Amino acid sequence: MVSYSELGLVNTRELFKKAINGGYAIPAYNFNNMEQIQAIIQACVETKSPVILQVSSGARKYANKTILRNMAKSAVEYAHELGYDIPVVLHLDHGDTFELCKDCIETGFSSVMIDGSHLPYEENVALTKKVCEFAHSQKDYVTVEGELGVLAGVEDDVSSEHSHYTQPEEVVDFMTRTKADSLAISIGTSHGRTKFTPEQCTRDANGILIPPPLRFDILEEIEKLIPGFPIVLHGSSSVPIEYVEIIEKYGGKLSDSVGIPEEQLRRAAKSAVCKINIDSDGRLAMTAMIRKVFAETPDEFDPRKYLGPAREELKKLYMHKNQNVLGSAGQA
């Protein structure tokens, strides 16, 4: 049994309270390797931002859970060494079973997501409640994120009544019965680099895809029903066109890429949305730089020579998000 306070980590409780009152969102960045965690910590220390380090079950399979936990512990020490202590949360992203959440809670995570959003409503309630009871009974209180509504995939018609947007009428019942500490909602974001089909978008004068706007009306309705309650947005990468162009220039093929515009995320961050999940943008930044190095210096075979520039670009990206999109800079 490893308790997160021993690792120097914090849960999300105080961070979310401050974020809601301050009109900003805490960045939740996924990590799988050393370069990502270095870039996240460097960017968050330099911008004085709190941070949520997210681990998916895919990341656990790829990198090993003990290694990831110790990377999070090192992240806290690294921030200290860089000269500024920032609050660091270690969070399980998209936990899908009680057993996975329990294992994370018992091995140093300060926060977990139980994603029962694909289950029938009553099953989602029962599973989320079970995880909350376990997480909240620990010596160090572990915070739990639940989810209501299914994020739109490229196949969904986001403008139809058959969408999987969060239904505001379910929210109060869900929160009261589960006692979750925060709630991920579906208002039109989605995972990955192709968040909408071209048919769901319009095009600007340069032929660039413009996605349909997020459903701020649903968010506002939810905020009225549970005022001051922490809301989470998944699938919030903006899929910067510059990265897509670099990747395609150097041999990649990423057709129909489209993300969530930054202004909409900025607007969301000013509301009760206090955690914004970003993974795909980091993947694009790394891939763009690695492809560039490979194309420009075909004889390069030292991984530090391509992972180094990828890490630099990641750091720039995260600093930009903290300063100009989420508003978390200066809040640590």
What is the size of the binding site for Zn ion (CB under 5 A)?
A: 2
Alpha-carbon span 113 to 270, nearest angstrom = 23
30 binds ligand G3H (CB under 6 A): yes
Question: Least distance from C-beta 191 to Zn ion, angstroms?
Answer: 6
Q: Which positions are catalytic? A: 93
320 binds Zn ion (CB under 5 A): no
Strands (E), the chain: 26-30, 51-56, 88-95, 111-114, 143-148, 182-185, 202-203, 209-210, 231-233, 273-278
The answer to the question of residue 91 lying near Zn ion (CB under 5 A) is no
Question: x/- binding map, residues 35-74, to ligand G3H, per CB under 6 A?
Answer: ---------------------x-xx---------------
Other CB atoms closer than 10 Å to residue 168's CB: what's the count?
A: 20
Phi-psi map region of 140: left, alpha, beta (phi>0 left; psi -120 to 50 alpha): beta
Q: 3-state DSSP helix/strand/coil percent for the chain, to nearest 5? A: 50, 15, 35
Residue nearest to Zn ion (CB): 234
Rounded distance, CA 265 to CA 252, Å?
27
Question: What distance in Å separates the CA atoms of residue 93 and residue 26, rounded to the nearest whole number?
Answer: 15
| Count of residues that bind ligand G3H according to CB under 6 A | 8
Exactly one of 73, 215, 234, 315 binds ligand 13P (CB under 6 A); that residue is 234
Binding mask 274-293 for Zn ion (x = CB under 5 A): ---x----------------
Taking the least distance from each CB to ligand 13P, the nearer of 293 and 326 is 326
CA distance 238 to 261: 6
Beta strands in 188-237 (DSSP E): 202-203, 209-210, 231-233
Contacted entry of ligand 13P, ligand G3H, Zn ion, none for residue 237, CB cut-off 5 to 8 Å set by kind: ligand 13P
Binders of ligand G3H in range 179-218 (CB under 6 A): 191
Out of 60, 195, 234, 291, the residue judged to bind Zn ion by CB under 5 A: 234
Q: Does 279 bind ligand G3H (CB under 6 A)?
A: yes
In the region spanning residues 136 to 175, those forming contacts with Zn ion, defined by CB under 5 A, are none
Q: Which spans in 107-209 are helix H? A: 121-136, 168-178
Please identify which residue in 91, 94, 292, 315 interacts with ligand G3H, judged by CB under 6 A.
94
Pair 119, 98: CB distance under 8 Å: no
* Cross-strand bridge partners of residue 55: 92
State the Cα–Cα distance between residues 310 and 322, nearest whole angstrom: 19
Contact residues toward ligand 13P (CB under 6 A) are 30, 93-94, 191-192, 234-237, 277-280
Contact residues toward Zn ion (CB under 5 A) are 234, 277
Contact residues toward ligand G3H (CB under 6 A) are 30, 56, 58-59, 93-94, 191, 279
